[in-house]
Structure formats: structure tokens, C-alpha cells
Amino acid sequence: MDLKRYLQTEAARLGFLSARVAATAPALPMGHYDNFLAAGWAGEMDWLTTGRDARAEIDTLLPGARSVLVLAFDYTRALPPDPGGLTGRVASYAWGRDYHNYVLRRVRKLQAALRLHAPAVGSYSSVDSRPVFERAWAARAGVGFVGRNACQILPGESSRFFLATLSLTAELEPDAPLDDHCGRCRRCVDACPTGAILPNGGLVATRCISYLTIEADAPCPEALRPLLGRWVFGCDDCQDVCPHQRERDDDGELPSNVWLDLPQLLSQSDEAQMARFLGSPLRRAAGQRLRRNAAYVLGNLGDRAAIPALEAASREVGVVGDAAEWALSRIREP
């Protein structure tokens, strides 16, 4: 069995949805990436600038890299019933354990199998935490195509999958990229509450609800706060309307952290939240950002039952107090 087929077989055994190969030459085109940075759309995500050169040249991470094995791990789940009340919604990728850990464990097992099968082949693994341009490699390998919403989409299947890469010093036969399948569809453009998705494709990250609720430390621009709706961490709106999403199966196992109790979230200390969300992607925003988001969503719900929790939070100095004051003004406005 040749190395490519061996790795694909092992990847399937480890639960990956897809495993395809991209050649490292020619170098990745970085024009769109550089335009994104130049426009200021990265906002507070400074690592996108500092890691730019490493993303452009995989050799800086693995000298002699010839191929990139791109892996997709499905996280599609059925949305549990809305409990209503003073609750906020979490993006589906964050319902369970932190994908950086459990997907990387699978990649490391694949790496270990590679060392046994072909000990002379060097490798470098990544799962969304190293300066690797996973989405561009996935597009080159044909794992999916880049949709208008900037998500990687597997036609007729899903965009709800995590990407991982295993860069290799071996030259494997590359797979062909996929054609664009968006066509004239603009459902994601129309569904985005904040207008973050450009009609011709591309994402203004600083207007994206995922950026505003997870990455940004600064207060959300006041004009955008009502547009957050009930999203307290991330957003799935552009994926929910995509016609390439297959029907989600309910496997009978209810995921955690789908709907969050907002007054409880708002009243928890930063330390308590860090402990509560240990091992969850929610830990990335735990503390002031999650409490700030909880206040925004309570303001959007407009339920007077939230007033006591918001009044307590409004006495704080900083982004949480500012968010609580804004929410109170929304609820109390005539």
C-alpha cells in the first residue's frame, strides 16, 4: 500500500470525514490574505499578522515539506430544543469538548502511525493553533471549496467540520481542488445579521458575531449590539441557511453548553467561569467577554426579569458594566 493510501486509511479509522493531499509547490497565493490584513479586518487578532510569513511558507515550519495532508473532522449535531427564558445560544462547534485537544490527539495518533510505517518521513501537525493556513490548504486539496461566507464547504455534505493538517517531507500525489458551488446563491449574505459577509465572497471579521463575541476585548460597537440577537458565543447563522448542510442527526446524546443561563453567566466571577468551562472552547471568552455578551443578549431579550442581574453587573467598571447599563436602557426604554 502506498503512503498516501495508508494515511487515508488510517485517517478514516481515526474518524476523519476526509483526508486529501495538497502539494506545497507553488507557494500559496497570499493576495487575498494580505488585502484582508491591509483593510484592518483582522481587528484584535494580531496573530494573523505576526504569523503571516509562516502561513505563506510551510518550509518555515517543516523544512523540506513537499505535501500537506488535510484532514476534516465532522462536528455536525442536532440543535437541542430552545429552553426559552433568559438564555443565550452558543455556536455548534463549541457545544462539547475543545476540538483543539481531541482532534489533535487523533492527528498525533496518525503521526505515530506514520513514524512506524515510514520512519524517514518528517511531519508537522496542526489544528487551528499554529501558523498554518489550513483553509487554503484544504481548498488546494479539494477537501471543500471556500464559500461566500469564508467557510470551507464540502458540497452536499456540510461546512461543519474542523480542519487539521499533517505536513510531510514526502511527495504524495495531490488531489484536485473543487470548483465553486455557491453559484448565484447568497443565502449567507442575506442571513448575516451584521452584514459581515461580502456579496462577492469574503468576510469583514470585525463585523462578524463570532469575532465580536469571542475574539474582541473591546466593547461591541453600539450599533451592532442589537444585531447579536441571542448569540452569546459565536454564530451559526451563515451555516444554518447554507443549502450544502445535510440534515443533522440526533444521536440521542444531548450536548452540553448549547443554551446558557444568562443571569447565572453574568453573576459568575471570571475565575468561576474559567473553572466552569475547563476543557471547553468557551474558555477562550470566559470571564469579562462572556459576561459582557450575556448582558448584550439580555438587553436584546428585553425581559424585565433580567433587571436585578443587570443592575448588579452595572456597578462594575469596564466592559461588563458598560454592557449592563446599555441592556438596562434597552429594557427600560418606553
* Residue type at 41 in one-letter notation: W
Which grid coordinates belong to 80?
Answer: 437541542
213 within 8 A of 233, measured Cβ to Cβ: yes
* Residues contacting 125, CB < 8 A, separation 6+: 104, 107, 108, 111, 164, 165, 166, 167
Over the range 99-110, which residues count as b (16 or more CB within 10 Å of their CB) and which as e? beeebbebbeeb
Of the residues 59, 74, 98, 128, only one is catalytic, namely 128
Amino acid at 18: S
Q: Do the beta carbons of residue 324 and residue 314 sit within 8 Å?
A: yes
Quick check: is 128 catalytic? yes
- Reduced to 3 states (helix: H, G, I; strand: E, B; else coil), residue 63 is coil
CB contact at 8 A, 178 and 144: yes
Cβ atoms of 116 and 290 within 8 Å: the answer is no
| Residues labelled catalytic | 128
